[in-house]
Structure 1
Amino acid sequence: MDLAEIPVLSLVADRADLPERVGQSFRTFGFAMIRDHGIDQALIDQAWAKTEEFFALPVEAKLKYFDREIHGARGYTPFRTEVAKGATEKDLKEFWHVGRDLPEGSPLASSMPPNVWPDEVEGFRDTFTELYAQFDEAGAKILSAIAVHLGLDANWFDPAIEDGNSVMRLLHYPPVGDGAGGAIRAGAHEDINLITLLLGAQEAGLELLAKDGRWLSVAPPEGAIVVNIGDMLQRLTNHVLPSTTHRVRNPSGERASHSRYSMPFFLHLRSDFDFVTLPECISDENPDRYPVSITADDYLQERLREIGLKG
């Protein structure tokens, strides 16, 4: 398996030329790697411990936090529920969702249910509330660099993501047994949101589909996060920044008997954001693909139905 030669950029050392460098990485791969991102390593270590502790609970205990009415938007989603768009086999994973706590009386409350928290894991709520906030801050900094790269004001995304419907997912891929059949840990897919910030890609398995049709391994160095473009940003930029297909393949050999854990933060727009293609991304060579507007929440609900999280 060839390695994707994605540059590792620093939110601190590369600040001056970050817009150009991160923009070129996204245009080339749909992915970037970021270090010095400001997410506290001690908090990350604590979050891994809490994640493992939760997923080690008996299935019956975890299912207490699965709410079919909200289709996994918060709390627990059982093993083999989600399916990649167009796939027939459900993914070999289970996960937990943490969302934004909205201020009381928010007009967005109808699209963003309140969080639920497991009683069995001490400190779970405090740990992931703080980690969510730090992901949120790092994501806003990366979006600012993207805005400058696109010729926009550095603060262009700020109102678009204020009280945005961002979701932090705690993912557990159990050991792969003989009964997997044609299923893999995460089938080939594109993310729905603006950008995804990912912790846990140091464990082998994440791959992106290159423009030449090859699958390339994504392997960040210790301390770096992987960031990729989602379909919402691809739509907003008229495909100038591509949402790249990626997957998590099954391990082989000794690693097949081990669990894999990861933590993606899906950074979303406000639910009431109206998609209007950025004029900076429209040209004679790249005419507007999306002349009809749609809200971020309508787009999200459409995609959730496609991946089996909503009926």
Structure 2
Amino acid sequence: MNIYDKTLEGPIGVFDSGYGGLTILNEFRRNFPEYDFLYLGDNARTPYGTRSFEVVYKYTLQSVLKLFEMGSHLVILACNTASAKALRTIQQRDLPKFDPSRRVLGVVRPSAEQIIHYTQNKHIGVVGTPGTIQSLSYVMEIRKFLPDAIVSQQACPMWVPLVENNEIDTEGAAFFVKRDLGLLFSKDKDIDALILGCTHYPLLLPLIKKNVPAHVRILSQGSVVAKSLKDYLYRHPEINRRCTKNGTCRFFTTESPEKFDEASSIFLDFPVKSERIFFD
């Protein structure tokens, strides 16, 4: 039974556990300037990367339902951990119960689908949060498209805190990026394609490029997910018609709006005036 706003149209919802999803939102706004967006960052409960499947699912579902309440008919989980640990359950168990006409999409599958075009030798590397890596979502999704792929993974627990504390250009960032990529390539020296499996990681791209062989092709998710969304809306005109198009974007956080607005400047090149929301 549909318990949400009965309006036929609404903005596209974009959810992340914190700030990293702003890199995805940037690409959405660049590619779809006429569309309306709602961004929700669950900053009060971040990070998700070290939390259990059950907790990530609970928090993600709460955020999705909040975006539904605010009028979204389509929600993008711009968070790899949420996509890896919660998306499938929400799609298969919760949407049929709450509102089968609404849609929730993630970032793992589009990235896995595209990485097969980046590799020549089928040796693929993935870096991500501990939760994303533990879920094995990338391994499973990549092998759906490339069954004989050799996929090596490396959890990078320090990368998100470094980005969110604006420590991108520090010796600490250089140390942890070099260390973690060294660990990844020690598992498979033949890796020729690398997925940045966290939406924070594009901000570390200059350091990442310094620490991988020159021939390695790096997939950064923003443009890939934007392309996937464009294709999805083309293939699903019934969903596209339900997306309002006034060129607006509103920001919501479960933490301090002042803190969110200040930190968002790391990810966005325009000022943000966010609003605080609370879960029941």
Common fold, TM-score beyond 0.5?
Answer: no
Q: TM-score, normalised by structure 1?
A: 0.25
Q: TM-score, normalised by structure 2?
A: 0.27
Higher helix residue share = 2
Higher relative contact order (CA 8 A, sep 6+): 2
